[in-house]
Structure 1
Amino acid sequence: MSSVYANYSREDLIREIEILKAQGTSVNDEKIYQSRFLNNAVALRKTFSEVLSLLITPSQKDIIDQSLLTILRFFNVDRVYIGNFDNDKPTFDFTHEVTSQGTISMREDLLVGLPKADYAWWIKTIREGKDIIIRDTNNMPGEAAAEQNILKVQEILSLLVIPIYYRGYANGFIGLDCVKKHRDWDALDVENLRMLTDIISIAIERELAHGMVEHSMKQVLKSEAKFQIIFDRLPWGVELYDENGYLLDINKADLEIFGVTREQAIGLNAFENPNIPEWASEKLKKGEDVAFLLDYNFNKAAEKGYYTSKLADEVKHLRVKGVVLKDRQDVILGFFYIVFDDTESYHKTEEIQYSLAKLKAAVDTGESIIWEYDVATDKLSADFSLNDQIEESSFLTYLKEDRFSSVRDFIETLHPDDRHRVYNKQFKRLVDGEIGKYISVYRRVFDGKVYWLNSNVRAYKYSVDGKPSKIVSYTSNITEQREKELELMKVKEADKLKSAFLANMSHEIRTPLNAIVGFSDLVAETDDPEERQTYLDIIHTNNDLLLNLIGDILDFSKIEAGMLKYNIEEANIKELCMEVYLSGSLKIKPGVKLLFDKNSPTVTLRTDRNVSCR
């Protein structure tokens, strides 16, 4: 089935790309879009540089095949080819072809003199100036049945073919084949191939010009004119110098990079540029190509009187490639610089490195680690690249032994009390797309030892159904911190119990004290010996109760200090119970009965008599 981009012109494709950019639904989408475009731009300009170097070097053999091989690597396809046809002939040929194995191809020799009638739909589409964009050769238009059968025989799964124009007519094509896997061609693929085809067409015209002597000069002039157009429209800077280093030509992109006018630039000598390293100039003078990174300081150029730019006080980060131009006798004719402005990429890289440094500092501060889970493969992996002192941590050392490679391994090491909460209520819901992230404190058991962990888990990639495909987790070992927290909780609980005990003792002490004071007054007032003795017995009993309470307080203090000692001796349990009964009877509230069976048998035990009575 043809792509929606098949009938788009270059302007339509560029407009489509801008629309896609404008439709970004989130900051993250915009970052992904910018990253994709940045990666495409870096790869495309490298390919442009390689193809231009091939075209400009007159002694280079097999220019077209070498250029096609560069294009093959750029698009990561299995085959790139060129075909052409003459309107006056009933046949057409595949004139050039390269494969992922190199520039040698048997098909190039076999696919010649092919009847146009067998490729009627293909030829018609190209003649109309339309692209052939097929994601799946199983889904092609009905009128392309003949071509479909031929493609299936060649085991082609996907292909992209666009017209090549000569003298204003589409009389050829360049194609990309995928035989290993299907390919979803998008607007970027089509536009990139069109741009590269513009350059390749120069070599094709030159090749045709060499075969037609009577028109050779005319073809060269046309090729040079087309080259000049492309030269001016390239998105990267190009500077053409003579053999003495004087600037002969410069394109628009280069003028924008350096913030100068054409009048300012023409005639400048590259060997006098204070920003260009001397070693690079010396190599170019000797006829050697160069490539280097350059922090271009515009103030330096102005101070040395080289030129004044509207970009004063700025520094740009450039990637420069210098290519020497020689004739067939190896005489230097001049050289050209290709200049790539990597300033934006440089700053993005710095931001990434800064963020990575902060993340590394956070991870390496404690026993922390980054986990990643691939939902499709059920692969659980840990990234130890941010951890410098793994061997100093038994926790990290244990994890690095790669004992946990799946979710099942993760579940098996979860503490039984945390398993349902962490897996069913948090992790599984995240995998199912019900939530986007969660934070959890839980326990895992490694070799019988319980570790407390704190994990911040979130999805960062999603599949077409909207569910997470990749999950990342920042996990810290908080065992020591958690143990201290639990110890602090115990201390606080002990303080509460102590306060409650002392509050209760305060109340308990008042009861015997009140009895002692009250009955002491009654003893002084009564003359009845029997009544006096009753009061004295009550006073003695409350004295004993008060002593026991004071003993409890002292024992509590000893327990806190760890100094409590036991006096073990034989004791009559019945007598002990009798003492408890007598002391307890004084504290009985109305309506409550305290029972003691005086006829119980006597039992002797070895114990601390005082502690047992309390």
Structure 2
Amino acid sequence: MDSIIENHPDQLVIDDLIDIIGDEEICRMAKFKKIFDLLPCGIEVLDEKGVVVVCNKADREIFGVDEDAFVNFNDFEDPNVPNEILQEIDKGHAFNVLLPYDFSKISYTSIYKDCIKYLSVRGIPLYTKHQTIKGYFVVIVDDTLYHQQHAILEDSFTKLQVAINTGNSIIWEYDVINNQVFIDPVLNNCKDNSLLQFISRISFQNKEKFYESIHPEDLVRVRECCLEPLLNGDITHYTTTYRRVFNDEAMWIRVNARGFKYDENKKPSKVIFYASDITQEVQLENSLINLERESDRILNAIPDLIFVISNEYKFQKVFASGAKSKGLYLSEKDTIGKSIDDIFDPEKALFFKEKINNALKDNVETEFDYSLQINGKQCFFKSRISPLEDGSTMHIIRDITDKIVQQDEINRLNAIMDIILSSVPLVVSVKNVSDNFKYIYFNSEAEHVMNRRAKDILGKTDFDLFPDQTWASEIRSKDLKAIAEGRLSEYAVNYKDPSGKIRIVNALRTRVQSKNEVYLVAMLWDITEQHNNELELIKARESDRLKTNFLANISHEIRTPLNAIIGFASIVGDANDEFERDYYLNIINENSNQLLKLIDDIIDLSSLEVDKFEFKMRRLELKDICRSVYNMFSQKTKPEVSFIFDDNILPSVFLYTDSKRLHQVLSNLIDNAVKFTNKGNIRFGYEIQSEENTDKQFVRIYVEDTGIGIDKNYNHVLFDRFFKADNFTQGFGLGLPIAKKLTEEMGGKLKFTSEIGCGSKFWIKIPILSNS
């Protein structure tokens, strides 16, 4: 165990804390547990016998205990505390140790079982004014992670040494600034390392000596293409092989070099080299190359017929294995010593001589196809001519008649299939799963949908074709799912072509296995037009339904005032006195006005829906419009309701708007407030506000009441025509939908908030334009 541990950042904080607080102040702070809980390291205050008086949150987390675990616990009796610390405590000394703490030895309950932590423990005695020990202040830091990392580092260093020595390799460093080479003796310490022994004999101390040790045939390449570009910052690393020479003894070396510690000119100040002895490997490779050259000629001589022709065009050797294929017979007895002119007709003989001459001239293997008439049947062959060193040529002939016939049939069937697939209104594509889902087939309908030619698509993936990589990833996910399940069907899904145009399609993906290859066949048929027709039909049906509902609602709304007009008109003549007659006439007049307003609203709503509503925009004073609306409704509220309009405190605002339409919107809002407010007040006014993060301003005109309120469940239908919250109250009629439409046409927005039993607040926001 070390008596003094290294200083870490946590320990520096601890030292500063102790210096600042002082011994006497620590005793006082022990009473303030919340302060200790803020510290990142473990804190324990012990009495003179070692019993824990207080510990902070970090301390409990280090030992994995709750708040009660250390009650009356004596640290001096902990089996993990070594005698060295106890001896220092007996002497009244401070202590500072790295303590391996084994949780399998503890007597208290902890969340840690059978594990070891490495703790940096520092303790100082606390003295009274009479210089007697009152207790101890202990600071604990969990250094387990640091200890583990140090162990990992040592393990990695050992493995690196093993790797270097096992592979006959060395690591050396070149100091560019001082032009010095350094081979670390700690890393490179194996006596049996052949490369290390060889390098030690060369003894190169700088770059010049290094170049002198390189074989002259390799020097220019290593210097001009590898090391100097690395030192100049043109490359960051390189891997190469070359020979090192010492007293006519050469060794093949493979080197990986990488620069580091770059300066402001992006040039390395140091270079690390990892070199391995590959002499035996190179020798073996050269032997294999020579063997491979001979083996290639033998391995390539597998086709049906093999023969050697001299530089005089005469057959020297014939390997007639399988030579009778398709009626072609060239046995050694019939061909040895004969010339090409003896075997083939003049035209074909001249053809073969030209091929032989070209192969000899260029000294390269030549392949070509030809055909012969054998027993009245056209046969096809593939020929390879290989020049030999003595001027003769080796010929390898393979009968490909069956392959040609089969390929012609395949081409014919493919042509028929392509005509069929190009004629159907169906997108057909094939992807090679084994080759990163690249397209290998595309029919004409697919070209139309993708808006790309097949030649621009084949060999590419969806990630190459679609600019939207998220969409390409979605396609790939579906392809993978189809491969996993064997088949994937989708109906009426969105499909986005490379241009971003959305189509509605049905899709079918099927996995197809062919020998060692896996293909994905995708078929899509466009149902966009069909889908749109269905949507139009749905819209038409919905429109009919809305019209029916509208007629039903409007008939009810018209019938209500009309019944009142007819009913009271029939009895007004029977009134006994003038007061009763005036009462009936007032009801008739009120319902007539209601009926007239309903008809006007129907006309306005119809005009808005067909965009025939005219707006006369001009610069107007908002306060004048609001005052006019207020005067119109000031006598219409119920006696129990106060109608408040504080025009004296409202600012002067000019808007570029239609006075009549704005007046109509505000009238509709106040009319609803009057209709549904039986007591309390209706407040009407406006205020100027600014949009966040902009210089734009708008005016907010509000109508607030203390009426019955609106259930939040009806928020989404409040602006529907003739909305009614229940069957026992009058509906909103057409006022709100008209107000909303007019507000939006004037560039504003209509909003509201409401609560059942507490009232509602409607407001419109209209921007204050520059020309207002």
Q: TM-score normalised by the shorter chain: which range applies?
A: 0.3 to 0.5
Between Structure 1 and Structure 2, which shows a larger proportion of helix residues? 1
Rg (Cα) greater in structure = 2
Q: Higher RCO, 1 or 2 (CA under 8 Å, sep at least 6)?
A: 1
Q: Please give the TM-score of this superposition, normalised by the length of structure 1.
A: 0.43
